[in-house]
Amino acid sequence: MNAPTLEEIREAAKRIAPYVYRTPVLTCASIDARCEAEVYFKCENFQRTGSFKMRGASNAVLSLEEEVAIRGVATHSSGNHGAALARAAGIRGVPAYVVMPKNAPSVKREAVRHYGARIILCDPTLEAREETLAKVVRETGASFVHPYNDQRVICGQGTAALELLMEVEGELDVVMAPVGGGGLVSGTAAAVAHSSPRTRVIGAEPANADDAYRSLKVGRILPAGNPRTVADGLRTSLGSLTFPILCRWVERIVTVEEEAIVQAMRWIWERMKIVVEPSAAVPLAALLTRREEIPGRRIGIILSGGNVDLDRLPWIP
């Protein structure tokens, strides 16, 4: 196992500092009252490109040697990582290639294009996606930046928790993050383990996409399958790099029902007056519905992103 060291995460923070926002930490009196807790929200929904993914993507792009970087970067995420990688490549002035399935929503395609990536469409199957990506890499010499199973990406994602711990006065009892492929939660867990060892890290996952919960139970990576959840950022399986870090430093995974996710998302919009995507609301959903599994009063939550199709809100039929 090659778990990120504190030095690696700090170096990432230094490397990306000129290109990412130091996002605010917000609190909300009515959410605190409802949760019987002090909840500190690290607002990565305000991050550049609308999610924490900008941290990992820019750390990866900025870590490349010049002669490698110049050939560009490539990935196959159609979501927040695709947009973030495109933006990070743009900052470095190198091309980004994003492989997307033909049936990806046009709003996602537009976002990736908006940040300047070249989009390569493929059939909507795993094989087509991997074949197309391999072909792009072969033809262009671009470096593949995996959405989460990449040490540089994990270290970049860990910088959000580092800032959260610095921002909040006194020790936190718990830090929570949503779990998809595990990039955010593993970076968070590493940062917390090194710099606030008594703080527990708890992951939150949709019950409908509980592969990380099950994987931790059985001790090996179980595939996510093709889960149906409103939290569209959390449908992926863990990776060979993220899984061991979860095993070591994530105390537990709490799962939540779809209705609770939508309810928590709406609470954040209504009470905090900020826009978050469903995936970002999963930790608060866990806190609201499974309070007994989350010990302590002082709780940090990474609000992972705010990219929502405003024409389709999950509480409007």
Q: How far is the CB of 307 from a copy of itself (least distance, A)?
A: 9
Does 80 bind a copy of itself (CB under 8 A)? Our answer is no
Considering the complex, state which of residue 141 and residue 315 has its C-beta at the smaller distance from a copy of itself. 315
Residue 1 CB, nearest approach to a copy of itself (Å): 36
Residue with token string 């921002």? 167
185 to 224: interface string for a copy of itself, x by CB under 8 A: ----------------------------------------
State how far the Cα of 25 lies from the Cα of 277, in Å rounded to an integer.
17
In the complex, the smallest distance separating the C-beta of residue 274 from a copy of itself, rounded to whole angstroms, is 5
**Nearest Cα residue to 257 out of 314, 225, 217, 209:** 209
In the range 223-282, which residues lie near a copy of itself by CB under 8 A?
Answer: 266, 269-270, 272-276
For residues 53 and 16, give the distance between their C-alpha atoms in angstroms, rounded to a whole number. 12
Give the full edge-to-edge strand order of the sheet including 174-178. Answer: 25-26, 38-43, 298-303, 174-178, 200-206, 252-256
The site that binds a copy of itself (CB under 8 A) totals a number of residues, namely: 18
Distances (CA, A) of 228 to 69, 102, 205: 37, 20, 12
Q: Is 167 in the site for a copy of itself (CB under 8 A)?
A: no
> 95 near 119, Cβ under 8 Å?
no
CB of 172 to a copy of itself, least distance (A): 22
The residue among 45 and 279 lying less far from a copy of itself, judged by its C-beta, is 45
Stretch that binds a copy of itself, among 9-17, 195-203, 207-215, 308-316 (CB under 8 A): 308-316
Task: Please tell me whether residue 65 binds a copy of itself under the rule CB under 8 A.
Answer: no
Identify which of 302, 12, 252 has the alpha carbon closest to the alpha carbon of residue 156: 12
* Beta carbon nearer to a copy of itself, 66 or 270: 270
- Give residue 147's identity as a one-letter amino acid code: P
Map residues 17-46 to x or -, x wherever contact with a copy of itself holds by CB under 8 A: -------x--------------------xx
Does residue 306 belong to the site contacting a copy of itself (CB under 8 A)? yes
Specify the residue, 222 or 275, whose C-beta has the smaller distance to a copy of itself. Answer: 275
The angle that helices 211-218 and 242-249 make with each other, rounded to 10 degrees, is 70
Residue type, 276: V
Min dist. Cβ of residue 266 to a copy of itself (A): 6
Identify which of residues 65 and 270 has a Cβ nearer to a copy of itself in the complex. Answer: 270
- Taking CB under 8 A as the binding criterion, the range among 56-64, 163-171, 213-221, 309-317 that sits at the site for a copy of itself is 309-317
d(CA 36, CA 144): 44
C-alpha span between 296 and 200 (Å, rounded): 10
Nearest to 23 by CA among 62, 55, 56: 55
Q: How far is the CB of 21 from a copy of itself (least distance, A)?
A: 10
Q: Among 4, 50, 56, 147, which residue sits at the site for a copy of itself (rule: CB under 8 A)?
A: 50
* Sign (positive or negative) of CA dihedral 88, 90, 94, 98: positive
Query: In sequence order, what are the beta bridge partners of 74?
Result: 97, 144
Q: Which of 1, 33, 218, 310 binds a copy of itself (CB under 8 A)?
A: 310
Where do the DSSP E strands lie in 10-102?
25-26, 38-43, 73-75, 96-101
C-alpha Rg value of the chain to the nearest Å: 18
Residues that bind a copy of itself (CB under 8 A): 24, 45-46, 50, 266, 269-270, 272-276, 306, 310-311, 313, 315-316
